[in-house]
Amino acid sequence: DGGITQSPKYLFRKEGQNVTLSCEQNLNHDAMYWYRQDPGQGLRLIYYSQIVNDFQKGDIAEGYSVSREKKESFPLTVTSAQKNPTAFYLCASTEAPNYGYTFGSGTRLTVV
């Protein structure tokens, strides 16, 4: 079955560490996105990529970095510069403009 796979489901980070969240899709979608969700709130866009080897900052990119070396993969690194990283992270993809996103099941990141 086609879909988006996020891993790990749960991730714990110590203060000052960088961590990388994985997002892989086999839907052959060109565009991929990373959103952050805090409790009781909507989704805020971190980074997005419309095509391989290209990506743009979203509304809250500070403290995060991404790469898009392959069409199927769009990993997100949460750096030590992100002061409040505890949140639920969602990856999504879409086949074309003005089409709905398909979401992964999310990664819950907690700072310990």
Partner 1 sequence: GESVGLHLPTLSVQEGDNSIINCAYSNSASDYFIWYKQESGKGPQFIIDIRSNMDKRQGQRVTVLLNKTVKHLSLQIAATQPGDSAVYFCAENIAGGGNKLTFGTGTQLKVEL
> Which residues here bind partner 1, judged by CB under 8 A?
4, 6, 31, 33, 35, 39-45, 48, 50, 56, 58, 90, 92, 94, 97-98, 100-106, 108
Of the candidates 62, 63, 61, 78, the one whose C-alpha atom is nearest the C-alpha of residue 22 is 78
Angstrom distance (rounded) from CA 37 to CA 82: 15
Give 48 or 74: the residue with its C-beta nearer to partner 1: 48
Angstrom distance (rounded) from CA 91 to CA 50: 14
Angstrom distance (rounded) from CA 111 to CA 42: 21
Give 59 or 62: the residue with its C-beta nearer to partner 1: 59
Contact assessment for residue 93 and residue 3, using Cβ atoms and an 8 Å cutoff: no
Give the shortest CB-9-to-partner 1 separation in angstroms.
Answer: 9
Give 18 or 99: the residue with its C-beta nearer to partner 1: 99
Give 16 or 97: the residue with its C-beta nearer to partner 1: 97
CA 25 to the chain's CA centroid: 12
Give the shortest CB-89-to-partner 1 separation in angstroms.
Answer: 10
Amino acid at 39: P
Give the shortest CB-80-to-partner 1 separation in angstroms.
Answer: 26
Give the shortest CB-60-to-partner 1 separation in angstroms.
Answer: 13
